[in-house]
Structure 1
């Protein structure tokens, strides 16, 4: 039997206003069919199946929080498997009992007890768990990207380039657990500060998350954050937002409300590069990130370079070597 105050998953876009609605879910039962019907609905899942594992089947799923951060728990006496489509939430999960593999088709990395792992929610994945006690934390894309911009100057990007299999630093895990403990206590007991305290603690959880899983996008230059540099920042942000497109200096200038000459002078004076050289720099950084995380058996330098706007492989390779002191094929084979 399930009780739901509001939908646990919601789509949001970068820059949207926070979805301040309470999320409270309680679902429990002893039927595999009921478990599939209830729990797959929370994740818009498909092809879910559940079955006993030699003992009476039982499940319980609970969640508490709001549209930005929810703390969840899934307890199973039995096995469950299913596909989860892409979602806007970042979801960190770990097991305190049992066993499971978050992605049996691609990564096939089994869970290690009490060690967090980020789910690959940017794409569809198929999970498989059995006789487990699982904790999950859902973080809204809106809040994660807002805090990432504050910490790392990532700008208004759609993708932070986070590696869900990034090796975790034990100190970062400890900070993550500490932030969750404080938020969990606030959600259980409340405080005189009300929503302000909850909001602060939720942001602390996101900060701890980003310390565990740092963004891999190219940060904006520090110069754009100096006083009276709003137009320069607008120009730089425009480049980051349209980095794969065939931009002209006139396009960048128009986005910032500058003349072409003023744009060129502002970039050269504050960033030390012309607008088009800065565009190339951003593209090269994006290519390098992709090559470092690509599978050399299924990816090619040409494919990755073309994805980020490089059409001439020879000129790209030469520019890449100047920037990183190695050829792109060497980066891909690491």
Structure 2
């Protein structure tokens, strides 16, 4: 195993690690420190195994690349960081919450957070971005914020993420040129904001609907439709049709399981979306009225009153807090 010296300039708080080797046990010991491999099982795929790792990071952000040329199966878990990963080569299947996902070359996803998952890597090479969870939550303004794991970004989200990766990676990885604390924070915030914009967020309603019967599945389809189309001009008929229910059936199901009307549900989802946009917006480029209109609130006064009743502050206060 070869460890390269830390060459960061004085005053730069980034760390730099680069390691490589052929010893599988050393590789497992190293990767387990960051990814909590549990009961790893390794099968060689070539006469001599190879692994390498390079990473530059601070307490908020780490950019990493890794390669492990073996067949590896293990359970894993990361509790304090959101990890965005995309595969350069090889193949990988991750199983989380009973569903298996095959990583696609070049397509980034957020790995499961604070939950165990199974991985099966085969001659894998990965790029990874680690973001401190507390830092991301401070950017969002929500203490319980989390991403929906293993969901690929939309086309627009992909462009947003790739734009930030291209714009800042070379600067961050160049440890021979120092960065000030403010520059480090700006780059970390750019990555966090891009991730928030690009990747689906964990839907709280998933845990609100318990049960596995046909009615529960229809209700989940209704909720999924609302979350995906909350910016659109939708109402009870559209939601009911998406769920395969009559409007009256939708009303009864929502009342029975969530104690809400379709209007309550739609308004709640729109308010959450508006708040997310406000707390991460640039106040010099965004107005409360713009955000309200984008989320289907046509009357600014009523929007402000409803927003304050829900969140305990005016929309303008959420925007200023950024």
What TM-score does the superposition give when structure 2 sets the normalisation length? 0.60
Aligned with residue 186 of structure 2, among 195, 200, 204: 200
Q: Deviations over 1:43-94 (max 9, x none)?
A: 2332123231134311112211111110111112222222223411000101
Give unmatched runs, 5+ long, in structure 2: 7-11, 221-252, 267-322
- Per the alignment, residue 93 of structure 2 pairs with 101
Structure 1 runs (4+) greater than 6 angstroms displaced? 297-301
1-side partners of 2:180 and 2:208: how far apart? 46
Distance 1:172 1:317, change over 3 A: closer
- Per the alignment, residue 213 of structure 1 pairs with 199
Aligned pairs, how many?
225
1-side partners of 2:20 and 2:178: how far apart? 32
Distance 1:324 1:87, change over 3 A: closer
What TM-score does the superposition give when structure 1 sets the normalisation length? 0.58
- 2:140 aligned with 1:148: yes
Aligned with residue 319 of structure 1, among 238, 253, 259: 259
Distance 1:161 1:112, change over 3 A: same
1-side partners of 2:35 and 2:5: how far apart? 15
Q: Deviations over 1:175-232 (max 9, x none)?
A: 2122123332112336676232221111111111001124457xxxxxxxxxxxxxxx
For residue 295 of structure 1, report the CA deviation from its aligned partner: 7.5
Give unmatched runs, 5+ long, in structure 1: 7-19, 150-154, 218-285, 305-312, 326-334
For residue 318 of structure 1, report the CA deviation from its aligned partner: 7.7
Distance 1:166 1:131, change over 3 A: closer
Q: Deviations over 1:227-249 (max 9, x none)?
A: xxxxxxxxxxxxxxxxxxxxxxx
1-side partners of 2:59 and 2:5: how far apart? 12
Q: Deviations over 1:267-315 (max 9, x none)?
A: xxxxxxxxxxxxxxxxxxx5x45357x77369979xx9xxxxxxxx997
2-side partners of 1:182 and 1:60: how far apart? 25
Conserved in 1, the CA contact under 8 Å of 2:153 and 2:200? no
1:274-293 correspondence runs (5 A):
286=204, 288-291=205-208
3-state SS of 2:102 partner: coil
1-side partners of 2:149 and 2:15: how far apart? 25
2-side partners of 1:171 and 1:110: how far apart? 22
- 2:112 aligned with 1:120: yes
